Chains A and B, each alone.
Chain A
Amino acid sequence: MTPETFEPKILAFCCHYCAYSSADLAGSMRIQYPPNVRIVRTPCTGRLETEYFMKAFENGADGVLVAGCLEGGCHFVEGNLCAKRRVNYTREMLEEIGIEKERLRMVNVSAAMARPLADVIIDMVKTVRKLGPSPIKRNGSLKQESRK
């Protein structure tokens, strides 16, 4: 599969108070972003635990994007800062496992930043497309295997 034909599956955990609204705004403003992202709305990125990211990769995600509020602007004061630390911890663990850490990324946007969010998604898709399919998925995801 060449980088041109590979369509990555990227899971985007979007905070209800910023990135989710900004994705909504992108829609209203007719701003295009690649359809490779599957958006999951979360009450706050601070709700996300390490195992969520692990399960995403285990079940065949090529990339995971965590989109939280701007630093200092979290609705729950410091949920996005907690998420940042967890994302960094998980990135280290992914390296230990043998998965490129670039497949997991955290970004900070506000509810009005539709264009920057779209740019971030475009960049993430580009990065993951360059990396190729997740090494876990190359021979069928673990979940698919367990179904056999």
Chain B
Amino acid sequence: MIVAQRKSIPNLLEIVKNHEKILVLGCGTCVTVCLAGGQREVSIIASALRMAAKLKGLHLQVEELTIERQCDNVFIEQAAEAIERNDAVLSLGCGAGVQAIAERYTNKPVYAGLDTTFIGILEERGIWMEKCAACGECVLDQYGGICPITRCAKRMLNGPCSSSREDRCEVNPERQCAWQLIYQRLKDIGQLDRLRAVKPPKNWNHSQDGGYRTIVREDHRI
């Protein structure tokens, strides 16, 4: 899922201070699960903004709404009336959600209330960890399901580097060396011979090279 975290209240107030009526719009999908932009966070941030604005002497009316998904037209339509009666939208969706709302409501300023951070999973209660860099050409099949792009600090495809200590990363000793994990995992599944092959440089054309990426599925087009 996409993982995000909220911006600070002073930062959010700075973003919306020129408006009198704003809609804090939550999203019921990824950002709800990572406790950054769901219904509960909408309520908390709206309360915080109302109080912070009052303390600054600003007249700010804050409406709250959470839709199921901000990246899907069917759900975006449900916010139409609320968006219409407000001066601006503070979206608590991920970067995709913010842009989806902005593209559909061209006459309203739409601001991001969260910092979208990575694609990851809930590692343990209250801790989310990045697992995928969306590089566009997945190599997980060759590394026992552990991504060297995301989890190795040096993004090495032919690792490990010579500086890892025990199972710790040289760059940050609090983190596990991804290559130690890869070695252990390949050993466990009997595929250690995969490490004998030297991997060529990765083709980054599939990543963020040359602007945004699109996927076209002709079989699904109407």
Which residues of the other chain, B, contact A131 by a CB distance below 8 angstroms? none
Q: Which of B48-56, B81-89, B94-102, B145-153 contacts A (4 or more CB under 8 A)?
A: B48-56
Flag if B55 contacts A93 (CB, 8 Å).
no
Which residues of the other chain, B, contact A54 by a CB distance below 8 angstroms? 43-44, 47-48, 51
- Minimum CB distance partner of A54 in chain B: B47
Flag if A58 contacts B47 (CB, 8 Å).
yes
Determine if A118 is an interface residue (Cβ-Cβ < 8 Å).
no
- Minimum CB distance partner of A137 in chain B: B54
Determine if A4 is an interface residue (Cβ-Cβ < 8 Å).
no
Which residues of the other chain, B, contact A1 by a CB distance below 8 angstroms? none
Q: How far is the CA of A49 from the CA of B43 in the complex (A)?
A: 11
Determine if B8 is an interface residue (Cβ-Cβ < 8 Å).
yes
Which residues of the other chain, A, contact B55 by a CB distance below 8 angstroms? 97-99, 135-136
Given contacts A51-B43, A96-B8, A96-B10, contact A142 B54 (CB under 8 A): yes
Picked from A50, A136, A142, the residue with its CB within 8 Å of the CB of B44 is: A50
Q: How far is the CA of A2 from the CA of B54 in the complex (A)?
A: 23
Which residues of the other chain, B, contact A93 by a CB distance below 8 angstroms? 9, 44, 48
Q: How far is the CA of A138 from the CA of B181 in the complex (A)?
A: 58
Q: How far is the CA of A99 from the CA of B8 in the complex (A)?
A: 14
Which DSSP category, helix, strand, loop or mixed, fits chain A's interface?
helix
Which DSSP category, helix, strand, loop or mixed, fits chain B's interface?
helix
Flag if A51 contacts B40 (CB, 8 Å).
yes
Given contacts A97-B48, A98-B52, contact A49 B40 (CB under 8 A): yes
Number of interface residues of B (CB under 8 A): 14
Picked from A50, A55, A97, A139, the residue with its CB within 8 Å of the CB of B52 is: A97
- Minimum CB distance partner of A97 in chain B: B52
Q: How far is the CA of A98 from the CA of B9 in the complex (A)?
A: 10
Which residues of the other chain, B, contact A58 by a CB distance below 8 angstroms? 47, 50-51
Q: How far is the CA of A50 from the CA of B43 in the complex (A)?
A: 10
User: How far apart are A58's CB and chain B's nearest CB, in angstroms?
Assistant: 5
Determine if A57 is an interface residue (Cβ-Cβ < 8 Å).
yes
Contact digits for A71-105, partner B, Cβ 8 Å, 1 yes 0 no:
00000000000000000000001001111000000
Flag if A99 contacts B51 (CB, 8 Å).
yes
- Minimum CB distance partner of B47 in chain A: A54
Picked from B8, B9, B47, the residue with its CB within 8 Å of the CB of A55 is: B47
Q: Which of B49-65 contact A (CB under 8 A)?
A: 50-52, 54-56
User: How far apart are A25's CB and chain B's nearest CB, in angstroms?
Assistant: 34
Q: How far is the CA of A136 from the CA of B40 in the complex (A)?
A: 22
Which residues of the other chain, B, contact A55 by a CB distance below 8 angstroms? 47
Flag if B10 contacts A136 (CB, 8 Å).
no
Which residues of the other chain, B, contact A136 by a CB distance below 8 angstroms? 51, 54-55
**A–B Cβ pairs within 8 angstroms, 5 of them:** A54-B51, A97-B51, A97-B52, A97-B55, A142-B51
State the A residues within 8 Å of B (CB).
Answer: 49-51, 54-55, 57-58, 93, 96-99, 135-136, 139, 142
